[in-house]
Amino acid sequence: MLSKEKITKQITVVIEIDVPDHATDSDIRD
């Protein structure tokens, strides 16, 4: 299980990388 901090960090990194939304959404939900 991921902690809230880890998820927030992951989302921040994803935003900084600026990857496609569909890929980001799948990665975070998976």
CA within 13 Å, CB half, 28: 18
pLDDT of residue 24: 58
**Close Cβ partners of 14 (under 8 Å, ≥ 6 residues apart):** 24, 27, 28
Hey, which bits of 1-30 come out as E strands? none
pLDDT of residue 30: 56
pLDDT of residue 14: 67
**pLDDT tens-digit profile of 1-30?**
678 888 777 777 766 666 566 655 666 665
The residue whose two tokens read 């299980």 is 1
pLDDT of residue 9: 77
